[in-house]
Chain A
Amino acid sequence: MRKFRKQGKFLCIALVGTLAFGDCATFSVYASQSLSSDESFAEITDDVSVESAGGMETIDIPQLTDEQLAEYYEDSVFVGDSIMAGFRNYSAKSDTFVHDIDFLAVTSYSAGNALKPVNSKNPHPLYQGKKYHLWDVLPLMDKKRVFILLGMNDLVVTGLEDSRDNYKELIDKIVETSPDIEIHIVSVTYKLQEAQVKGCLDNPNIDLYNSLLQEMADENGWGYIDLCTPISDGEGNLAQEYCSDGYVHLTSSAYTQWEAALIDYANAMQMEQEETTSPNAVSDLPCGGQTADSV
């Protein structure tokens, strides 16, 4: 009798358990983000007036709204090496517009590496669990624009011109598979002044390389954003307070500076676009709208 009672209890427990487990009910996710920047996004996006180069007049730069800014970067993918991976991690904990940026960042990535075959050894970005060549993965992501930060690892192993040529080859492949994507090149950032020089990775060379990249961007109608200067010490080196490892990697506060620079960049891009699409755009140009090319 006692045995039967025990078995009866066991049956009840089993049935209750079955009923309860039958509906694989609740779904909960534990993931949190915290605001890292002291500057609120709304403050950054207020309209600003800046002095012109000559200091004689002020120019009002129209500022994108929070929504427009978020939309601009949500439609972007940021590509790069460990410096970009640091920004990816910064963005993961942020609750500003940078949180919604998609990244393809991998440590040791370079233009030279990006051209190598995809295999278990060569560094290539992961997308949904698989490694891809950059030109193959971008069409899958279907974004309007790509920001690319490469070069630091190139300069360690190849010279300036060869690194630039690899970069150009990479972008040409991207344009082949994603003909409508906007290309924006991000400047290479400095190392600390006292940090060891590896290959051509020295600050004067980084300046030269950035000039080559800017020239390449101008020649091809690509964007170029300087994220090096906002975190420099004013003397052509990475500022101590923005360096996390005594070498080249960046602190959270450095990425906060990037965030501000990205806001300025999106505003400038917007203004440029408005100028080119405005019906008065031609008459706004110097010399009655005649450019050098049209002469």
Chain B
Amino acid sequence: MNTKKTRILYILAVLAESVLLLGGCGGKDEQQDISTEIQSSAADETNPAEEAKSVEEIYAEITQAVSLQSPILVDEDFIMNYYGIDSTKLEEYVFSMSEDATQAECVIVMKARDIGDVDELADALQVVVDEKKNEMENYLPEQFAIVEKSNVETKGCYVWLVISEQSDVILDIIEENTVG
């Protein structure tokens, strides 16, 4: 009897967890609460869950670790007008680019509200890569070489693109502070 009840509870738990994983990405505070709870309740049987930082915190860590080239942060009108990125689909984001139009450098980290929008966001960031390549190819070969090494990456609800000479350091920071 006890075993049967246990099985039912186990199935319910698996279903609930599936809904959790497929249902979306959630707010940061909620996510942190859940992470904390999982960490404290299940500490005796699993590794402590990794804790994701906000993209704002991630960007702050990046700017402390590397010196970006005259970075500016652009707003939701800019990302919509240029790249068709609908900011209402984003839980949070940082879109940093160099003020100097002859520098291709940009650091973009986005967290989708819904995991179902991740592919669309990745496509939009691929447009950024293509645009930069197109602009720099026959104009600034050194910048073109930097753009060519860049890739749009995704992890869970996160999508990011780093075009920078210091991309290795920046990508490590993003990778370490995001949870899939």
| Residue pair B101, A31 in contact (C-beta under 8 Å) | no
Question: If A29-B76, A92-B78, A126-B83 touch, does A17 touch B38 (CB 8 Å cutoff)?
Answer: yes
Which residues of A sit under 8 angstroms from B171, Cβ to Cβ? none
Q: Taking CB as reference atom, which chain A residue is nearest B7?
A: A7
Q: CB of A90 within 8 A of chain B?
A: yes
| Residue pair A20, B26 in contact (C-beta under 8 Å) | yes
Q: CB of A180 within 8 A of chain B?
A: no
| Residue pair A18, B93 in contact (C-beta under 8 Å) | no
Which residues of B sit under 8 angstroms from A127, Cβ to Cβ? 81-82
Which residues of A sit under 8 angstroms from B24, Cβ to Cβ? 21, 24
| Residue pair A126, B135 in contact (C-beta under 8 Å) | no
Out of B17, B23, B28, B92, which one reaches A29, CB within 8 Å?
Answer: B92
Which residues of A sit under 8 angstroms from B12, Cβ to Cβ? 11
Out of B2, B31, B82, B87, which one reaches A4, CB within 8 Å?
Answer: B2
Which residues of B sit under 8 angstroms from A108, Cβ to Cβ? 135, 138-139
Which residues of B sit under 8 angstroms from A245, Cβ to Cβ? 100, 102
Question: If A92-B74, A245-B102 touch, does A29 touch B93 (CB 8 Å cutoff)?
Answer: yes
Q: CB of B127 within 8 A of chain A?
A: yes
A25 to B28, CA, bound (A): 9
Q: Taking CB as reference atom, which chain B residue is nearest A119?
A: B134
Q: CB of A269 within 8 A of chain B?
A: no
| Residue pair B75, A92 in contact (C-beta under 8 Å) | yes
Q: CB of B88 within 8 A of chain A?
A: yes
Within 8 A of B (CB), among A1-17: 3-4, 6-17
Q: CB of B80 within 8 A of chain A?
A: yes
| Residue pair A252, B84 in contact (C-beta under 8 Å) | no
Q: CB of B173 within 8 A of chain A?
A: no
Q: CB of A26 within 8 A of chain B?
A: yes
A82 to chain B, nearest CB (A): 5
Out of B73, B81, B85, B134, which one reaches A102, CB within 8 Å?
Answer: B81
Instruction: Please encode chain B, from 57 to 93, with 1 for each CB lying within 8 Å of some chain A CB and 0 for all others.
Output: 0010000000000001111101011111101101111
Question: If A30-B59, A93-B99 touch, does A16 touch B74 (CB 8 Å cutoff)?
Answer: no
Instruction: Please encode chain A, from 107 to 126, with 1 for each CB lying within 8 Å of some chain B CB and 0 for all others.
Output: 11000000000001101001
A291 to chain B, nearest CB (A): 41
Which residues of B sit under 8 angstroms from A17, Cβ to Cβ? 16-17, 20, 34, 37-38
| Residue pair A11, B9 in contact (C-beta under 8 Å) | yes
Out of B59, B72, B84, B114, which one reaches A24, CB within 8 Å?
Answer: B114
A289 to B121, CA, bound (A): 60
Q: CB of A151 within 8 A of chain B?
A: no
| Residue pair B94, A30 in contact (C-beta under 8 Å) | yes
Question: If A24-B24, A30-B92 touch, does A126 touch B56 (CB 8 Å cutoff)?
Answer: no
Which residues of B sit under 8 angstroms from A22, Cβ to Cβ? 19, 23
| Residue pair A25, B56 in contact (C-beta under 8 Å) | no
Q: Kindly list the 5 A-B residue pairs having the minimum CB-CB distance in the complex, ordered from nearest.
A: A129-B84, A128-B84, A107-B135, A85-B101, A14-B16
A contact set with B: CB distance below 8 Å = 3-4, 6-18, 20-22, 24-33, 82-83, 85-86, 88-90, 92-93, 102-103, 105-108, 120-121, 123, 126-130, 244-245, 249, 252
Mind listing 16 A-B residue pairs with CB under 8 Å?
A9-B41, A10-B10, A11-B13, A17-B38, A21-B24, A24-B27, A27-B90, A28-B91, A30-B59, A31-B94, A89-B99, A92-B73, A105-B101, A107-B135, A126-B82, A126-B131
Given contacts A29-B75, A33-B73, A108-B135, 14 further A-B contacts (CB under 8 A): A6-B44, A11-B13, A13-B41, A17-B17, A20-B34, A28-B54, A31-B93, A31-B95, A92-B72, A108-B139, A120-B134, A126-B127, A129-B82, A130-B84
